[in-house]
Amino acid sequence: MTTAPANQPLLEIRNLRIEFPTRRGILVAVDDISLHIDPGEILGVVGESGAGKSLTGAAVIGLLEPPGRIADGQIILEGGRIDNLPYEEMRKIRGRRIGAIFQDPLTSLNPLYSVSRQLVETIQTHLPLSERQARARALELLQEVGIPGAEERIDHYPHQFSGGMRQRVVIALALCAEPRLIIADEPTTALDVSIQAQIISLLKRLCKDHQTAVMLVTHDMGVIAEAADRVAVMYSGRIAEVGPVQDVVRRAKHPYTHGLMGSIPHIGHAVAKLTQIEGSMPRLQEIPPGCPFNPRCPEADGRCRAERPELQWIENTEVACHRFDAPEARSQAGD
């Protein structure tokens, strides 16, 4: 492993583009995304459901399901490109250097094998441990992710676990080789607040102690606010806004982020109807020209409908919105 210079990000995604070639033309699900995560950093990824968050994660660990494919761009892990590696080499990186927690706990677990067997096998693939040691480690991991009565339950099958317990088994699987980067795709959605707090502190501890980097995809703004250092907001396969968590959550700049934050229900003030962004995200076949958010945006003007906004620095955050363009550029295009 190359020792990276201190200022080098652990993971860098450059101009990533993911396509689905179909019979009726090519669908672009992720369109020109650039991101980086530093060692020891947690990058939160939020955004509309279907915005391409999971696909981005899948691309990083090289598990895009065909016909999906990386059409353009680079993925760089600790200074080396990994998007073009042959399958075998990628398989070695997976699990060892990148751990993945998938959104879908049932597909990551084999329903025919007991939980212990799956954990022990994974541990032995990556670490030189004996069967007995691996089992001890598996038990330790299950306890760490908070499975009650781990000794008794370790030999059970996935369907005998509740939704949240399965999710925790998946987390344990991802952590077993102490990877450098963890892609966590909604790791806590099936968990109650208390276990959630436990998992988050576990992730944070890994980041602090081992300089592990985490890409944390979630819908839970509370989790983001608590765990993430920076947040990227995605919409229609593009990044709408990215910056430090404080700025994005509390001083959202992009109109979509604004709407998103406004939709969060709060305990304490009862409302008959939650604020919602009217309309829905365009389907992949129908992404409008210009800014993809323009049909739903209260501030959209002619330029928004014609020209794609690029990310630009506004204070601490990067925002892709024409609202922040220099006034001259704006009026020119408005004519």
Partner 1 sequence: MTEAAQVPTEAAGADLLLRAHDLKRYFDVSPPFLNRVIERLPRAIVKAVDGVSFDIGRGETFSLVGESGCGKSTVARLVVGLYQPTAGGITFDGIDVAGQTAAEARQNVQSRMQMIFQDPYASLNPRWRVANIVAEPIRARGLLPSNREVKARVGELLTQVGLSPADSEKYPHEFSGGQRQRISIARALAGSPDFLVCDEPTSALDVSVQAQILNLMKELQRQYHLTYLFISHDLAVVYHVSTTVGVMYLGRLVEWAPTQTLFNQPRHPYTRMLLDAIPDLEMTGRQRIPVAGEVPSPINPPSGCPFHPRCPHADDRCRAEMPTAHATGDSHVACHAVDDGRLS
Partner 2 sequence: MSVAELDAVGRVTDLVRRCLDSDIYFSFKSSKITMIAAAVTAAMFLAAVFAPLITPQNPYDPAALDLMDSFSPPVWIEEGTWTYFLGSDDQGRDLYSAIIYGLRLSLGVGFAAVIIAMLMGVSLGLISGYIGGTLDAVIMRIADVQISFPAILIVLLIDGVVRGILPNERHDDLALVVITFALAFSAWPQFARTVRGSTLVEKNKEYVQAARVIGRSPLWIMAGHVLPNVMGPVLVIATISLAVAILGEATLSFLGVGVPPTEPSLGTLINNGQNFLFSGEWWIVIFPGIALATLVLAVNLLGDWLRDALNPKLR
Binding residues for partner 1, per CB under 8 A?
A: 46-51, 54, 65, 103-107, 146, 148-149, 152-153, 155-156, 160-165, 167-168, 186, 189-198, 201, 219-223, 225-226, 246, 249-250, 259-260, 263-268, 270-277, 280, 283
Q: For partner 2, which residue of 132, 159, 250, 269 counts as binding (CB under 8 A)? A: 159
- Closest contact distance (angstroms) between CB of 224 and ligand ATP is 13
Q: Is 262 in the site for Mg ion (CB under 5 A)?
A: no
Rounded CA-CA distance 248/121 in Å is 41
At residue 126, the 3 state secondary structure works out as helix
Give, as one character, the DSSP assignment of residue 323: G
Concatenated DSSP letters of 179-230: -SEEEEESTTTTS-HHHHHHHHHHHHHHHHHH--EEEEE-S-HHHHHHH-SE
- Rule CB under 6 A: say whether 284 interacts with ligand ATP: yes
Quick check: 293 binds ligand ATP (CB under 6 A)? no
Q: Which is nearer to partner 2, 67 or 288 (CB)?
A: 67
Quote the least distance from Cβ 302 to ligand ATP, whole Å.
27
**Residue from 9, 44, 52, 290 in contact with ligand ATP (CB under 6 A):** 52
- Give the H/E segment covering residue 279: none
In the chain, the amino acid numbered 273 is: K
- For ligand ATP, give the closer residue by CB, 39 or 164: 164
Kindly list the distances between the CA atom of residue 191 and the CA atoms of 27, 70, 163, 200, 293, in Å, as whole numbers in the listed order.
33, 32, 8, 11, 31
Torsion of CA 273, 274, 275, 281, to 10 degrees: -110
Q: Does 23 bind partner 2 (CB under 8 A)?
A: yes
Q: Tell me the two tokens of residue 144.
A: 């760490």
Does position 292 bind ligand ATP by CB under 6 A?
no
Supply angle C-alpha 78, 108, 283, rounded to 5: 80
Instruction: Identify whether the C-beta of residue 221 lies closer than 8 Å to the C-beta of residue 264.
Output: yes
User: Does 243 help bind ligand ATP (rule: CB under 6 A)?
Assistant: no
Nearby residues of 104 by Cβ (< 8 Å), 6 or more positions away: none
Q: Is 161 in the site for ligand ATP (CB under 6 A)?
A: yes
Distance CA 333, CA 331 (A): 5
Size of the site for ligand ATP (CB under 6 A): 20
Contact 255, 323 (CB under 8 A): yes
Per-position x/- string for 80-109, each x denoting binding to partner 2 as judged by CB under 8 A, each - no binding: --------------------------x---
Q: Residue 111 binds which one of ligand ATP, Mg ion, partner 2, none, with CB within 5 to 8 A depending on kind?
A: partner 2
Choice between 29 and 200, CB closer to ligand ATP: 29
> Binding to partner 2 (CB under 8 A): which residues in 105-124?
106, 111-112
Binding site for ligand ATP (CB under 6 A): 20, 27, 29, 49-55, 68, 103, 160-165, 190, 284
Q: By the criterion CB under 8 A, which residues form the site for partner 2? A: 23, 65-67, 106, 111-112, 159
Give contact residues for Mg ion (rule: CB under 5 A): 54, 103, 163
